[in-house]
Amino acid sequence: MITKFNILNKPINDLSGFDSKWIKAFARENDLELVESINDLSTDKAIFDFQNNKLFLHMLLDGESSSIHFDLDEGSVAYRAKSVSKSNELIARAIGCKSHYRPRVLDATAGMGRDSFIMAKLGCDVLMQERCEPIYLLLENALIRLFENQPELKKSLHLQKSNSIESFEQLEMIDVIYLDPMFPIRKKSALVKKEMRLFKKLAGEDLDADSLLTHALTANVKRVVVKRPKGAPLLKALKPSHEINSKNFRFDVYLA
Ligand SMILES: C[S@@+](CC[C@H](N)C(=O)[O-])C[C@H]1O[C@@H](n2cnc3c(N)ncnc32)[C@H](O)[C@@H]1O
């Protein structure tokens, strides 16, 4: 279990895109201890590191140094986002997009921000909430880089560091709550991608996912959508209004 989060201090002329003064301010703001070397990782200690404006988090995985960072403007999600449309994205059906209507969505389990990004590309306004501090920081950095290249998304993607269960009661101007809690990794863990294993070391297992759904269903919204891996049990064993199935996952849709 990782309990200590540090950040690598950089010399003034380092090419990371940030200087030592900036990193010290970032460390103060986010309660991170400064370290001078990346080599003192331990099972309970992870180290943040800026490289060319990207924020990485170094951790030990199976005794070896590994790192995680989030990208929305590169890789598979960026490719998918290029051709996003209401007809080719199941998530559009799940959240209730219509020809001339785009819901305002609360993504209550923001994670790497991929689903939020796709919903924003569909034209939705998305409020993202993430409770896990290191995941929040990695996502915040991915959004900063995304907005540099796609500034038009700034007005539709908003990130908050919070436990979403606490916000459901006071929700205003939100049509849909979207939930995608962590699901326990199955036995064949060697097959699970390294990125997912690192992510899971930070987020844990979201053992309160049932309660997330029951609280969401009391909110003043038109629908609650839950993304689940194929074959996963229903949250809280609650039957949805309908399901939308794909090869690897399904959406359970609860209409108000
Ligand atoms: C499976 S990930 C979500 C992945 C995301 N849909 C994406 O596209 O990248 C689940 C995330 O939800 C966060 N989470 C779980 N329960 C939460 C809560 N009550 N409030 C805020 N964040 C929560 C976890 O910390 C984790 O980062």
| pLDDT average, residue stretch 213-224 | 98
Whether 232 is in the pocket of ligand 1, judged by its Cβ within 6 Å, is no
User: Smallest Cα–Cα separation from 4: which of 30, 24, 33, 27?
Assistant: 33
- Separation CA 153–CA 15 (nearest Å): 28
* Beta-carbon count within 10 A of 253 CB: 19
- Separation CA 52–CA 94 (nearest Å): 37
- Separation CA 249–CA 228 (nearest Å): 6
- Separation CA 158–CA 32 (nearest Å): 24
CATH 2.60.40.10: does it fit domain 75-255?
Answer: no
Predicted confidence (pLDDT) per residue in 23-81, tens digit: 999 999 999 999 999 888 999 999 999 988 899 999 999 999 999 999 999 999 999 99
Work out the mean pLDDT of the chain and round it to a whole number.
93
Whether 118 is in the pocket of ligand 1, judged by its Cβ within 6 Å, is no
219 C-alpha vs ligand 1 centroid, how far in Å? 18
Predicted confidence (pLDDT) per residue in 118-150, tens digit: 999 999 999 999 999 999 999 999 999 999 999
Whether 132 is in the pocket of ligand 1, judged by its Cβ within 6 Å, is yes
- Ligand 1: which residue has its CA nearest to atom 12? 109
Whether 112 is in the pocket of ligand 1, judged by its Cβ within 6 Å, is yes
CATH topology of domain 4-68: S-adenosyl-L-methionine-dependent methyltransferases (3.40.1630)
134 C-alpha vs ligand 1 centroid, how far in Å? 12
Predicted confidence (pLDDT) per residue in 166-188, tens digit: 999 999 999 999 999 998 766 55
Say what the pLDDT of residue 13 is: 63
Please report the beta strands in the chain, taking only residues with DSSP state E, as ranges in sequence order. 4-8, 33-35, 45-51, 54-61, 64-68, 104-107, 125-130, 157-161, 176-179, 223-229, 242-245, 249-255
Residues 6+ apart with CB under 8 A from 42: 60
Q: Hey, where are the domains in the chain?
A: 4-68, 75-255
Share of the chain above pLDDT 90, in %: 83
> Any alpha helices (H) in 114-238, and if so which ranges?
114-121, 133-149, 194-203, 209-216
Whether 135 is in the pocket of ligand 1, judged by its Cβ within 6 Å, is yes
225 C-alpha vs ligand 1 centroid, how far in Å? 14
Nearest atom (ligand 1) to Cα of 181: 10
128 C-alpha vs ligand 1 centroid, how far in Å? 9
